[in-house]
């Protein structure tokens, strides 16, 4: 490897420019001018393998990386399976060679990694998630029944037919949660969904995703309930109002109303939000707010919507709560608020 080539690449990396894209483009374009041998040598010499160089190698269809290049994949696998000294380095060499291996060699690498060692299996699951091979369909079912790896379930979700996923429904609920398990089942499962096992906004998201009919009254009720609960959470647990009065969950409900085609509901909510903004100053300190009178003021702003079929007792509790909060009955109202189902973190929301 020429010192000039290495110095040039390092020079690109050290450029003090604000455009990262320009920097990447220059490095990748320069790498394309290099002969195969120098490119491979530079790649293998780097402790953290640069993806920019890797992309150039892939386009050239080079089958081997410098790491372990003097050994065939067969030799590496033989030593790996026998757990010879330097086992972790052998595993790393196989992972590096995987992207550039033939389909047959990829299959052999995955086969070797699907062992009794969890760390090996996780690598194999990652490979199959990105590069599915139906050869391993039955193998993974057997391994899941034996080890119950969450990472294996993720491969099922991405690549397996719904019939197999249905058999794993309870496992999906246990490893993830009920709404996500329902999502994995697909639209045909929508009639079996128990909406009382999830939050209202989660149920509405599933129905909108599966293109199932939800009445505008019910959808709009869920929006106001979710919006109000976000404000009550601020009132109960924060020192200042959120700069965005509409919580992440309520924003999701608004998007679902759009997917369901309920334009009028969205327009109505815009006007309600304007009135709420007059009651609350985003970012203002909450201790200045009269916690006894605020919920009643908020409830007077929200539309009095008739809830079909008594949907979700939590909505009714919300009405009871705001009516109960006055200077003489605040503690009882606080107990009602605390009895609501625990909200999940935003990071646990449905991934769609």
Q: What is the pLDDT of residue 97?
A: 85
CB count in 10 Å sphere of residue 82: 9
Extract the residue ranges of the chain whose pLDDT is less than 50: 63-68, 306-316, 318-319, 321-352
Q: What is the pLDDT of residue 64?
A: 46
Cα 165 to Cα 181: distance, rounded to the nearest angstrom? 9
Q: What is the pLDDT of residue 106?
A: 94
Farthest-apart Cα atoms in the chain, separation: 83
Q: What is the pLDDT of residue 123?
A: 95
Q: What is the pLDDT of residue 273?
A: 85
Q: What is the pLDDT of residue 288?
A: 59
Q: What is the pLDDT of residue 315?
A: 45
Cβ(95)–Cβ(131) under 8 Å? no
Token pair, residue 188, equals: 């045909």
Cα 139 to Cα 157: distance, rounded to the nearest angstrom? 16
pLDDT digits (tens, 9 = 90+) for 80-96: 888 765 678 788 888 88
Q: What is the pLDDT of residue 22?
A: 73
Cα 275 to Cα 284: distance, rounded to the nearest angstrom? 16
Q: What is the pLDDT of residue 313?
A: 47
Q: % helix / strand / coil in the chain, to the nearest 5?
A: 70, 0, 30
pTM check: above 0.85: no
Cα 45 to Cα 47: distance, rounded to the nearest angstrom? 6
Q: What is the pLDDT of residue 341?
A: 43
Q: What is the pLDDT of residue 311?
A: 39
Cβ(44)–Cβ(65) under 8 Å? yes
Cα 186 to Cα 206: distance, rounded to the nearest angstrom? 9
Candidates 255, 184, 5; CA nearest to 192 is 184
Number of H helices, E strands in the chain: 20, 0
């Amino acid at each position: 490897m020429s010192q000039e080539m290495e110095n040039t690449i390092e020079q690109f990396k050290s450029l003090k420019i604000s455009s990262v894209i320009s920097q990447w483009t220059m490095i990748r374009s320069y790498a394309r001018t290099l002969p195969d041998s120098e490119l491979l040598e530079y790649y293998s010499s780097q402790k953290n393998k640069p993806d920019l160089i890797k992309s150039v190698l892939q386009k050239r269809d080079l089958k081997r990386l410098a790491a372990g290049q003097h050994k065939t994949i067969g030799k590496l696998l033989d030593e790996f399976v026998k757990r010879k000294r330097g086992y972790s380095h052998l595993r790393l060499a196989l992972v590096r060679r995987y992207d550039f291996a033939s389909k047959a060699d990829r299959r052999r690498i995955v086969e070797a990694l699907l062992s009794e060692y969890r760390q090996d299996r996780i690598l194999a699951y990652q490979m199959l998630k990105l590069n599915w091979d139906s050869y391993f369909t039955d193998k993974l079912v057997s391994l899941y029944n034996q080890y119950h790896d969450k990472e294996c379930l993720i491969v099922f979700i991405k690549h397996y037919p719904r019939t197999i996923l249905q058999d794993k429904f309870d496992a999906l609920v246990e490893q993830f949660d009920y709404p996500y398990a329902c999502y994995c089942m697909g639209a045909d499962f929508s009639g079996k969904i128990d909406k009382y096992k999830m939050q209202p906004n989660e149920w509405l998201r599933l129905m909108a995703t599966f293109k199932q009919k939800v009445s505008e009254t019910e959808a709009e009720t869920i929006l106001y309930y979710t919006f109000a609960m976000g404000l009550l959470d601020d009132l109960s647990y924060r020192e200042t109002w959120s700069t965005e009065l509409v919580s992440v969950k309520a924003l999701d409900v608004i998007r679902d109303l759009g997917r369901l085609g309920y334009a009028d509901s969205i327009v109505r909510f815009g006007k309600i939000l304007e009135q709420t903004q007059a009651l609350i100053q985003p970012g203002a300190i909450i201790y200045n707010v009269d916690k006894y009178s605020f919920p009643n003021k908020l409830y007077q702003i929200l539309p009095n919507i008739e809830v079909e079929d008594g949907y979700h007792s939590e909505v009714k509790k919300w009405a009871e709560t705001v009516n109960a909060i006055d200077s003489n009955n605040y503690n009882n109202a606080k107990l009602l608020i605390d009895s609501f189902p625990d909200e999940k973190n935003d990071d646990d929301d449905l991934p769609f």
